[in-house]
Amino acid sequence: MSEFKISEVQYRKFRRRFLSISIPISVLIVAGMIFLDPIRTTGISIPVLFFNLAYLVFPVALFAYLIYRILRRLHRMLISYSLTISECGITFDQWYAVPLSINLTEIKEIIKTRSGGFLVRGQARNEIINIPCWVDDIGKVEEQLRALAPITTDSRFVLRSRLHALGLLAAFVLFICLVGSPNKIAQAISNLSIVGFLGWLLHSIRTSKNPTPDDRVMSRIIIFFMVGILLITIG
């Protein structure tokens, strides 16, 4: 039996990657909020830009606070991560998550992700153990997983997850492009597609056996957006 955890060194690697993605995205969002409206309406105007910079101080501070808070929670979650692999199966435990065990006979498939991590699926739909690539000695983890069951990189489960993510992104892009469009039918189809994907995401969060500390907040945000989009569609 072997136990694997995530060390501070691995967390710092994760933090660098997280910041390298979240900071540029935040900058692009804020820059879009600054320049999009002046360019569309009055053209580039120095007073307008200064006004936008003034009222966007709060969003910038909000983004910084959210990134800081998310990193604090993720630090606690990653450091508390515990994975036990034995001849009988796999056991997962983490802060704020319900411990989950998948016996050897219940392992449906083991999937290696593009990032180098693994997904262990049980017989039940919501029995999934996520093994991130940040786990210490990930090579040894792979060796022990291969001793339990074959590892695949081509899975319908992963393909379906990617298609859901791409579909959700496409729906949001359509929503942004069609806001205020005179074509009410296209706008309604776009809005309803977003509601459908958000409903699927909400169902996935509610049925997960490994909830995160932010799942309850995320559920409320999703419900808020679903109600808002439906009201926009009806109106």
Residue 40's pLDDT band (cuts 50, 70, 90): very low
Residue 56's pLDDT band (cuts 50, 70, 90): low
Kindly give, in sequence order, each residue whose CB lies less than 8 Å from that of residue 51, ignoring residues fewer than 6 positions away: none
Clarify whether residues 108 and 47 are in a common domain. no
Distance between first and last Cα of the chain:
60
User: What is each CA distance from 232 to 55, 64, 191, 228, in whole angstroms?
Assistant: 25, 30, 8, 6
Q: Please determine, for residue 6, whether its predicted confidence score (pLDDT) is greater than 70.
A: yes
Clarify whether residues 166 and 198 are in a common domain. yes
Clarify whether residues 57 and 111 are in a common domain. no
How many Å apart are CA 126 and CA 124, to the nearest integer? 6
Report the CATH number at residue 108: 2.30.29.30
Look at residues 152, 170, 201 and tell me which one is the last residue of a structural domain.
152
Q: Which range has highest mean pLDDT (25-39, 47-61, 179-193, 202-216)?
A: 179-193
Q: Which range has highest mean pLDDT (17-21, 45-49, 93-97)?
A: 17-21
What residues make up the domain containing 22?
Answer: 2-79
Task: Report pLDDT for 234.
Answer: 74
Task: Report pLDDT for 55.
Answer: 60
Q: pLDDT tens digit string along 138-170? A: 999 999 999 999 999 877 766 666 666 676 677
pTM comes to 0.72
Clarify whether residues 203 and 163 are in a common domain. yes
The letter for the amino acid at 71 is L
Look at residues 21, 52, 79 and tell me which one is the last residue of a structural domain.
79
Clarify whether residues 91 and 134 are in a common domain. yes
Query: In the numeric block, which tokens belong to residue 162?
Result: 């990617």
Q: At what angle do helices 57-79 and 46-55 cross, to 10 degrees?
A: 40
Coil vs helix vs strand at 86 = strand
The letter for the amino acid at 214 is D
Comparing 139-143, 184-188, 213-217, which segment has the lowest mean pLDDT? 213-217
Query: In the numeric block, which tokens belong to residue 226?
Result: 């679903």
Clarify whether residues 167 and 124 are in a common domain. no
Clarify whether residues 21 and 64 are in a common domain. yes
Between vectors from CA 138 to CA 104 and to CA 144, what angle results, nearest 5°?
30
Q: pLDDT tens digit string along 10-35? A: 999 999 999 998 898 888 777 766 66
Task: Report pLDDT for 42.
Answer: 47
The letter for the amino acid at 222 is I
- Between 3 and 196, residue with greater pLDDT: 3
Clarify whether residues 135 and 164 are in a common domain. no
Clarify whether residues 67 and 115 are in a common domain. no
Q: How many domains does the chain have?
A: 3
- The answer to whether the beta carbons of residues 97 and 109 sit under 8 Å apart is no
Helix intervals (H) in 56-154: 57-79, 138-148
How many Å apart are CA 3 and CA 161, to the nearest integer? 29
Clarify whether residues 148 and 161 are in a common domain. no
Clarify whether residues 104 and 142 are in a common domain. yes
The arithmetic mean of pLDDT across residues 201-212, rounded, is 70
Q: At what angle do helices 184-207 and 215-234 cross, to 10 degrees?
A: 160
What are the residues facing 82 on neighbouring strands? 5, 93
What are the residues facing 85 on neighbouring strands? 2, 90
Q: Residue written as tokens 């994907």? A: 197
Look at residues 152, 167, 201 and tell me which one is the last residue of a structural domain.
152
